[in-house]
Amino acid sequence: MSAAETDLWVFRNGRKSVAGLRLLNELHAALKQLLDSSASQIRERSLNVLIRAGELESALADAASPAASPLASLTDALAFTLLSGDLRSVTKLADSLSNLSLPQTIETSPPEGFSYYALHPLDFADAAMGLADPPRPAAVIGIRSIGTTLSAVVAATLRRTGCAAERITVRPTGHPYSRHTHPTSEQIRWIRKQKERGAIFLVVDEGPGRSGSSFLSVGEALIDAGVSVAELTLIGSQEPDLNLLCVDDAVRRWKAFHFLAAKSRISSRFSDHIFVGAGEWRRKLLPKDATWPACWPQMERVKFSSPDGTRLYKFEGLGSTVETVQQRSRLVDEAGFGCSVTDEGDGFSCYAVADAMPMTGKDTDLIVLERIAQYCAFRAAEFGTDGEPEPLAEMLRFNISREFQTDLNLNLDALQPSSAVVVDGHMQPHEWLRTSDGILLKTDASTHGDDHFFPGPTDIAWDLAGVAVEWDLHPDALEFLLARFSQLTGNDMRQRLPVFMLAYSVFRLAWCKMAMSTGIDSFEQFRVRTAYRGYRNLALEQMSRLGMRASAAPWELPTLA
């Protein structure tokens, strides 16, 4: 079976409807702050505004709004400011924003690389520099969404080296593993014009991701439009493993193109620190005799430890994303549940590392359960959020149908929260620390409730279900936890918790199953496979208690050599 037939649903769509006026006002405010900046503030603030402008330009282009063109001019000017520190072009364009007529509502989606995976626009500036010798005309095509911002940076870099660079953006459509790109008649004319002036063609986006089909669809559309493959380069953020790309005829199609991977600047910034991303934190932070929890290395946040081990640097998003995350972290710290945090620029937060030991499921007692109940009550009170919750019921039905070949005939209304909360999302025992004086602290508390994966903002029952599953709570212990939470909040979770426990277990088995298919090493494969079986067995038990029957035979990957 193909990946499209076996993949489970773990990633959030991320698209949301936002008032156009709100986005414009936020951009105005960020621009004003930039124009009032000192010389030392320009780089960080121009990066913030550039990401906002690129996101809005992309959304307006998707909506075929006439306002997309003036926004593109602003995005280009901001990219130049990021590279040069020169505000003159931005200053000239800032006032014209007031005259823009935007749609009442706009569909936006988070730029994943900027928000979650430590992709920096200047990485693409470095990549573009190698294409500018000798200077020649360049046609830059950004793949929306994030390719909008990245294409502006590539074009601005080339212009600074003397290249006559022009850019457009396109939106591939169709199934994620079989994208298609259909240039408009205006874009076809633009492509012909670029050919006539002898331009090189540069297709810019993050990735490639799981399939590579967005890159391939744009490259093949350009060839269909008469562009020579010798004049065409794809610029992305990582070299793909061609054998893992989930697209038809991946190896042959990908090898037809020249691909350039932008190199990250992060390693040079933290060259004297210890890398603890991609699961390496387990080696540094867990006891030597501890059983390592499963990890999906490619999807982990980039993290570094200071040489003396007293500080942890973690990528938490560029622009407004990191501001939101750090505010959550400060609230967790002020409430006594976390460690202090400072902003380190370029999307990184710095956390003080407590003198404490990670906990295990064997540490469960009434003091621990009381602390967890207090923490969940705190999150329910402090991290409420507006907006449309993610479709947890649809995720659950889809994944159960794929994994167990059965339909879920249950009432799932309980999964629709009456009030959505940015949950913690990672309530496993090792995410809790016990200090030498017995204080229990929660680590990694601010990103997972609103990141690339489910659940997104939802009912706090998700975290309580996570505790029940991950700590393997005895029924009496679970009853104590729920009773204390109810006393603290007035919210009785007993009726809705069973379906949340099922949703949590099914999501986690789906997460493990997806991780197993992404080229992780044999040791990690074993850990993830073991976790997958555990969550699957739990899901079967929970389904049985809810009156359902399903196949007990698990899906397996071939054993690795």
Three state DSSP letters for 290-348: CCCCCCCHHHCCCEEECCCCCEEEEECCCCHHHHHHHHHHHHHHHCCCCCCEEEEECCE
- What number is the average pLDDT over the span 106-119? 94
Q: For 202, how many CA atoms within 13 A lie in the half-sphere containing its CB?
A: 36
Q: Are the beta carbons of 262 and 236 closer than 8 angstroms?
A: yes
User: What is the pLDDT, as a whole number, of residue 11?
Assistant: 96
Q: Of 277, 220, 226, nearest to 250 (Cα)?
A: 220
Taken as a whole, the chain contains a residue count of: 561
- Whether the per-residue pLDDT at 557 is higher than 60: the answer is no
User: What is the pLDDT, as a whole number, of residue 2?
Assistant: 54
- What number is the average pLDDT over the span 121-138? 92
User: What is the pLDDT, as a whole number, of residue 387?
Assistant: 78
Residue 510's pLDDT band (boundaries 50, 70, 90)?
very high
- Whether the per-residue pLDDT at 112 is higher than 80: the answer is yes
Cα separations (Å) of 380 from 64, 377, 468, 485?
40, 5, 17, 10
Encode pLDDT of 187-198 as tens digits: 999 999 999 999
- Whether the per-residue pLDDT at 556 is higher than 70: the answer is no
Q: Of 298, 289, 246, 304, nearest to 521 (Cα)?
A: 298
User: What is the pLDDT, as a whole number, of residue 1?
Assistant: 46
User: What is the pLDDT, as a whole number, of residue 5?
Assistant: 57
Residue 4's pLDDT band (boundaries 50, 70, 90)?
low
Q: What are phi and psi of 93, to 5 degrees?
A: -90, -20
Q: What is the 3-state secondary structure (H, E, C) of 406-467?
A: CCCCCCCHHHCCCCCECCCCCCCHHHEEEECCCCEEECCCCCHHHCCECCCCECCHHHHHHH
User: What is the pLDDT, as a whole number, of residue 115?
Assistant: 96
Encode pLDDT of 416-451 as tens digits: 998 999 999 999 999 999 999 999 999 999 999 999
Encode pLDDT of 5-43 as tens digits: 569 999 998 888 999 999 999 999 999 999 999 999 999
- CATH number of the domain located at residue range(s) 274-545 in this protein: 3.90.1200.10
Could you give the percent of the chain with pLDDT greater than 90?
89
- 158: its two tokens: 């080339």
Q: In what order do the strands lie in the sheet with 356-358?
A: 356-358, 432-435, 440-442
Neighbours of 418 (CB within 10 A): 6
User: What is the pLDDT, as a whole number, of residue 3?
Assistant: 64
User: What is the pLDDT, as a whole number, of residue 555?
Assistant: 57
Each domain of the chain, given as residue ranges in start order, spans: 1-109, 131-264, 274-545
- What number is the average pLDDT over the span 326-337? 98
- What number is the average pLDDT over the span 303-326? 96
- What number is the average pLDDT over the span 514-543? 95
Residue with more model confidence, 267 or 311: 311
User: What is the pLDDT, as a whole number, of residue 139?
Assistant: 98
- The pLDDT mean for the chain works out to 94
Residue 559's pLDDT band (boundaries 50, 70, 90)?
very low
Burial 63-96 (b: 16+ CB within 10 A, else e): bebebbebbbbbbbbbbbbbbeeebebbeebbee
User: What is the pLDDT, as a whole number, of residue 132?
Assistant: 75
To the nearest 10 degrees (0 to 180), the angle between helices 461-470 and 475-489 is: 160
User: What is the pLDDT, as a whole number, of residue 554?
Assistant: 65
User: What is the pLDDT, as a whole number, of residue 560?
Assistant: 42
- What number is the average pLDDT over the span 455-465? 97
- 342: its two tokens: 């400072």
- What number is the average pLDDT over the span 276-293? 93
User: What is the pLDDT, as a whole number, of residue 561?
Assistant: 37
Encode pLDDT of 203-234 as tens digits: 999 999 999 999 999 999 999 999 999 999 99
Burial 297-328 (b: 16+ CB within 10 A, else e): eebbbbbbbeeeeebbbbbbbbbebbebbbeb
CA distance 263 to 288: 33
Q: Architecture of domain 131-264 in CATH?
A: 3-Layer(aba) Sandwich (3.40)
Q: What are phi and psi of 311, to 5 degrees?
A: -135, 145
Report strand pairing: 138-143 vs 105-108.
Answer: unpaired
- What number is the average pLDDT over the span 519-544? 95
